Amino acid sequence: MDIIPVTADDLDLSLHSDLLETQNLTLVASDPLLAHVNARFGFPAGLFDELVFLQCSHKIIRAASRPLQLPLAPQIDRTGIDFLRIDMANPRMTTSAMMTWGRHATSNAVDTNQEQCLDYLRRLPIDLTPDQLRRCTGRGFVIVRHLGYPLGVGFLESTRHSDQNCGHLRSMYPSAFAADLEQTTPFGNPS
């Protein structure tokens, strides 16, 4: 994963010279950071131009809006939203990033039917239909949507028809959110 630190001047941001250090933030270049994400999901050019990317820990890159007029003090708890998890073999867009930009994805986005959507939200695996599978380019993370609205991340095991687990999608819907749905369904009818 290519995480290249940059300065505020590189990004045309007017920030107090001590600010990033005081707030424990590192600005990160969007190129090549986004290359993999753009390639996999086919996002339109310029989608992320109004954002700056900040590394705040060894785990997470956050995305925040320009012009980023942060306070010099006191210490902030967070800015923007979690964008990329970088503490894993394959860095992946977070649930919040998928939910925010996933509607613009043109590949590796799965539009679920109601039954699949329910299973996904309950963290159960789902099997994709041949039509859904055709929109995916290969094993890896996918955006899960319903009625066009992105809900989160899934992991597609394989798109090779010779594989036993071809079209098998693992739900990565956050367990805390799934727990909220234990007694009910998002479609109003009893579970």
Partner 1 sequence: MNDAHPFARYRSIIPRWDDFQRALDRPLPTCVWANPLKITPPELEAHLREQGITFEPVGWRPGAYRLQGVARPGSRLAYLAGLYEIQEEVSLLPVELLDLSAGQRILDLCAAPGSKTAQIATTVGPRATIVANDRNFRRMRPLGRSLDRLGITNTTMMTADGTNLPGDIGKFDRILVDVPCSCEGTSRKNPDATAATEDDFARLCSVQRALLKRALELCRVGGRVVYSTCTYAPEENEAIVDSILQEFGSRYHLVPARLPGFAASSGLVTWRGEHFDPQLKDALRVYPHQHDTGGFFVAALQKSSD
- Where on the chain is the footprint of partner 1 (CB under 8 A)? 50-51, 63-82, 94-96, 99-101, 103, 117, 121, 146-147, 149-151, 177, 180-181, 184-188
Question: Which CB atom, from 38 or from 79, has the smaller least distance to partner 1?
Answer: 79
What is the closest distance, in whole angstroms, from the C-beta atom of residue 50 to partner 1 in the complex?
Answer: 6
The residues, ordered by sequence, that sit 6+ positions from 41 with a Cβ below 8 Å of its Cβ are: 93, 102, 105, 106, 107, 108, 109, 143
- Could you count the other beta carbons within 10 Å of the beta carbon of residue 26? 14
Question: Which CB atom, from 94 or from 108, has the smaller least distance to partner 1?
Answer: 94
What is the closest distance, in whole angstroms, from the C-beta atom of residue 129 to partner 1 in the complex?
Answer: 21
Distance CA 153, CA 165 (A): 18
Question: Which CB atom, from 130 or from 190, has the smaller least distance to partner 1?
Answer: 190
Question: Which CB atom, from 100 or from 165, has the smaller least distance to partner 1?
Answer: 100
CB-based contact 53:28 (threshold 8 Å): yes
Q: Token match 């339109």: residue?
A: 44
CB-based contact 107:137 (threshold 8 Å): yes
Q: Sheet holding 109-112: strands in order across?
A: 109-112, 140-146, 149-156, 168-171, 126-127
What is the closest distance, in whole angstroms, from the C-beta atom of residue 69 to partner 1 in the complex?
Answer: 4
Question: Which CB atom, from 66 or from 160, has the smaller least distance to partner 1?
Answer: 66
What is the closest distance, in whole angstroms, from the C-beta atom of residue 104 to partner 1 in the complex?
Answer: 12
Q: How far is CA 31 from CA 84, 104, 127, in A?
A: 14, 19, 34
What is the closest distance, in whole angstroms, from the C-beta atom of residue 87 to partner 1 in the complex?
Answer: 18
